[in-house]
Amino acid sequence: MIERRVVESDVLVIGGGITGGFAAIKAHDSGASVAVADKGTIGRSGQSPYVDSHLVFNPDWGDDLTAWLDQVAHVGEYVAHLGWTEAGFLESHDRYRELVQWGVKFSTNSDGSIYRRPAMLGPTKTLFMPPMAVPDALREQMRLRKVRLFNRTMIFDLIRQNGRVIGALGVSTWKDDISLVEFRAKA
């Protein structure tokens, strides 16, 4: 018989990659109890292990927001949601500073200044760091905050009540112990 566990939290984050890691940290820092479920090992599945660059917008570095948004619109064949793109650009420097504070080492020029490689088709500039630096830093920050992490837990359905999502169902195969996990969450 498969064991059934119930996990309660204020926030359930589905996906333990870079976006999920930041979401979990921000939710925790806002006072919420947080659980993160990932189909693999948090920060080591999906595309997160391969990330070696970070797009950082900073007007103090001479970056032009309109030019950056125009580049995304053009390269994305005008399908991108520019409101979300703008919000991401405007928050990117804060995320960069957090990553530096958490110990992520970005590539530097010979004079010690941060290395920013321009894009081939526009004004955006990319910062580089070793692969796994960001996932490792996020996982450590989640661990320090005591965010509950559920590795190898595949979410297969949402739990709804009165038209609202109140949780999710998943199957955990962590450490070869198969169990059904019922996540109950406010968000």
In order, the DSSP letters of the chain are --EEEEEEESEEEE--SHHHHHHHHHHHHTT--EEEE-SSSTTTSTTGGG--EEE---GGGT--HHHHHHHHHHHTTT-S-HHHHHHHHHHHHHHHHHHHHTTPPPPB-TTSSBPEEEPTTSS-EEEE--TTHHHHHHHHHHHHTT-EEETTEEEEEEEEETTEEEEEEEEE-GGG--EEEEEEE--
Quick check: 54 and 106 in contact, CB under 8 A? yes
Query: pLDDT-based confidence at 43, cuts 50/70/90?
Result: confident
Percentage, residues of the chain above pLDDT 70: 99
- Distance separating alpha carbons of residues 85 and 8, to the nearest angstrom: 33
pLDDT, one tens digit per residue, over 50-75 is 889 999 999 999 999 999 999 999 98
pLDDT exceeds 70 at position 13: yes
pTM metric for this prediction: 0.89
Query: pLDDT-based confidence at 47, cuts 50/70/90?
Result: confident
